[in-house]
Amino acid sequence: MKFPRFRVTLIFTLCLAMLAMSAAAAVPAHAANVWQLYNAAEKARATGKHTDAIAKYKEALPLFLKDKDYTNTALIYDKMADSQAALTLYDDAVASWDQEAVYWTKVSKTQESIAAKRKADWVRNRFELFVKTGENEPLNTVYHQALNEPVNGALLGAYAEMDKQVHNPKTGKPFYLNDFPKMTEKKHASYLLYTEYGKNFFESYAGHIERAKKEGVALQVALQPSHGLDEVQDNDYLRGLARQAKAAGIPIFLRFANEMNGNWVVWYEKPQTYIEKFRIVAKVFHEEAPNVAIVWAPAYFPVDNIQDYYPGDDYVDWVGVSMYQAYNGSLDPLKKGVDRSSYVEKFENIYKLYAKKKPVFISEGAVSYTDPVTKTDKTDWAVYQIQQFYATLPLLFPGVKAMYWFDASKAESGRMNTYTLSGNAKVLVAYKEAVANPFFLSNVGDKANVSYKPLGQSVAPKKLELSAYIRTVEPILGKVVYAVEGKTVATVTKVPWTFTCDFVPYAGKTVSLDVMAYDQKGKKVSSKMIKLTVSN
Identity of residue 360: V
Q: What is the pLDDT of residues 319-330, one digit of tens each?
A: 999 999 999 999
Q: Are 466 and 131 in contact (CB under 8 A)?
A: yes
Q: Looking at residue 137, what DSSP letter applies?
A: S
> Do 125 and 474 contact (CB within 8 A), yes or no?
no
Report DSSP state, residue 110. H
Q: Which of 497, 503, 506 is nearest to 126 (CA)?
A: 497
* Residue 434 CA from chain centroid, whole number: 18
> In this predicted model, what pLDDT tens digit does every residue of 240-256 receive, in sequence order?
999 999 999 999 999 99
Q: What is the mean pLDDT of residues 219-235?
A: 97
How far, in Å, CA of 201 to CA of 255, rounded?
13
State whether residue 478 is helix, strand or coil.
strand
Within its chain, how far is the Cα of 60 from the centroid?
35
- Segment 260-285 shows an average pLDDT of 97
pLDDT for 20 equals 37
pLDDT over 50 at 512, yes or no: yes
Helices (H), 259-378: 271-288, 343-354
pLDDT for 261 = 97
C-alpha to C-alpha distance for 11 and 332, rounded to whole angstroms? 64
For residue 351, the one-letter residue type is: Y
Query: CA-CA distances (angstroms) from residue 490 to 130, 416, 465?
Result: 16, 41, 12
Q: Band of the pLDDT at 15, cuts 50, 70, 90?
A: very low
For the chain, how many helices (H) and strands (E)? Answer: 14, 20
List of E strands, 141-189? 154-159
Q: What is the C-alpha separation between 86 and 512, in angstroms, rounded?
A: 32
pLDDT range class, residue 31, cuts 50, 70, 90: low
Average pLDDT for 511-516: 98
Beta bridge partners, 483, equal 488, 514
* Rounded CA separation 243/109 (Å): 48
CB 471 within 8 A of CB 342: yes
Using one digit for the tens of pLDDT, what is the confidence trace for 448-462?
999 999 999 999 999
Q: CA 175, 154, 117: angle at the middle one, nearest 5?
A: 110
Residue 30 binned pLDDT confidence (cut-offs 50, 70, 90)? low
- Check residues 2 and 499 and name the one with the higher pLDDT: 499
> What digits encode the pLDDT tens for the residues 345-386?
999 999 999 999 999 999 999 999 999 999 999 999 999 999
User: Is residue 336 a contact partner of residue 385, using CB atoms and an 8 Å limit?
Assistant: no
Average pLDDT, the chain: 93
* Per-residue pLDDT band at 9 (split at 50, 70, 90): very low
Averaged over 387-410, what is the pLDDT? 96
Please enumerate in sequence order all residues whose Cβ is within 8 A of that of 412, keeping only pairs 6 or more positions apart, or say none: none
Contacts of 19 (CB under 8 A, 6+ apart): none
Over residues 56-66, the pLDDT tens digits come to 999 999 999 99
**231: which residues sit within 8 A by CB, 6+ positions away?**
197, 198, 225
- Mean pLDDT along residues 77-102: 98
Span 432-439, average pLDDT: 98
Task: List the domains of the chain with CATH numbers.
Answer: 30-124 (1.25.40.10), 149-439 (3.20.20.80), 452-534 (2.60.40.10)
pLDDT more than 70, % of the chain: 94
Place 12 in a pLDDT band, splitting at 50, 70 and 90.
very low
pLDDT of residue 413: 78
Distance CA 496, CA 468 (A): 5
Does the pLDDT of residue 144 top 60, yes or no? yes
Nearest to 389 by CA among 434, 447, 453, 449: 434
pLDDT tens digits, 104-142: 999 999 999 999 999 999 999 999 999 999 988 999 999
Confidence of residue 18 (pLDDT cuts 50, 70, 90): very low
In 169-317 the beta strands, taken as DSSP E runs, fall at 190-196, 218-224, 252-256, 292-296
